[in-house]
Amino acid sequence: MIVAIDGPAGAGKSTVSRLLAERLGFLRLDTGALYRAIALVATQAGVEGEGPALDAVLADHGIDLGPDGEVLLRGVPVGDAIRTPEMSAASSKFAAFPAVRAALLGLQRAIGAQRDVVVDGRDIGTVVFPRAPAKVFLTASVEERARRRLQDLEAQGIAADVETVKAEIEARDHADSTRAVAPLKQAPDAIPVDATHLSIEQVVQVCALIVAAAQTRED
């Protein structure tokens, strides 16, 4: 079974997906981490845009998933190297390139065909797995998303202020929702969940109920 969780940056998709996957006994696939990993590889190679250099990176990117769903780069976990503000901006840029999305689409679908997964991203329910039986569109206010993102950065020892983080999130929202290829949008059959005033556990519980209802329909 495939559970698709889409939504804007900072809505809590990563945490909710991880906890939901643990509860269900599913694999958790963080597609955003895949795009961040591509951005990391491309940036390290000095690639700034589309063209032969990017094609070469995509032909031999070395990105894969570990048994627990962690993103690996040539067999080594990428860790927090992909979680910096710089990689956030870079991943949004590279995710807009058709060649990048095509390269990762096959990988994502291959993983989804092998086992039960909770997949989070921005185009999961609309492009990657449009027939997923359980779809959630997770949102939260910009202010709440900025607050959460600031906490994450501070936990990593990265200095930031809430207004700067808020501006970065708003810019990311605009880039993700207006890009020509697979823009961020809610699938018609996705159930919206506003996490602004909910705890993580409450959001996970709501998502678990959505999955249970989908499983009942499939039975």
In the chain, the DSSP E strands lie at: 2-6, 27-30, 63-65, 71-73, 76-77, 117-121, 134-139, 191-194
Identify whether the C-beta of residue 210 lies closer than 8 Å to the C-beta of residue 20: no
Please state, in angstroms and rounded to a whole number, the distance separating the CA atoms of residues 119 and 125: 9
What's the mean pLDDT when you consider all of the chain?
92
Among 26-40, 63-77, 174-188, 192-206, top mean pLDDT goes to: 192-206
Identify whether the C-beta of residue 17 lies closer than 8 Å to the C-beta of residue 30: yes
Pairing state between β 63-65 and 71-73: antiparallel
Find the Cα–Cα–Cα–Cα dihedral 115, 121, 127, 128, rounded to 10°.
-20
Task: Grade residue 180 by pLDDT with cuts at 50, 70 and 90.
Answer: confident
Pairing state between β 63-65 and 134-139: unpaired
Name the one residue in this structure whose structure tokens are 């996957």.
21
Please state, in angstroms and rounded to a whole number, the distance separating the CA atoms of residues 40 and 22: 27
Task: Walk me through the domains of the chain, giving residue ranges and CATH numbers.
Answer: 2-218 (3.40.50.300)
* pLDDT for position 46: 95
Please state, in angstroms and rounded to a whole number, the distance separating the CA atoms of residues 59 and 170: 32
Please state, in angstroms and rounded to a whole number, the distance separating the CA atoms of residues 3 and 20: 10
Q: pLDDT digits over 103-127, tens only?
A: 999 889 988 998 899 999 899 999 9
13-18, long-range: CB within 8 Å, 24+ apart, which pairs? 13/120, 13/121, 13/138, 14/120, 15/200, 16/120, 16/138, 16/195, 16/200, 16/203, 16/204, 16/207, 17/118, 17/119, 17/120
Structure tokens belonging to residue 209: 């109920």
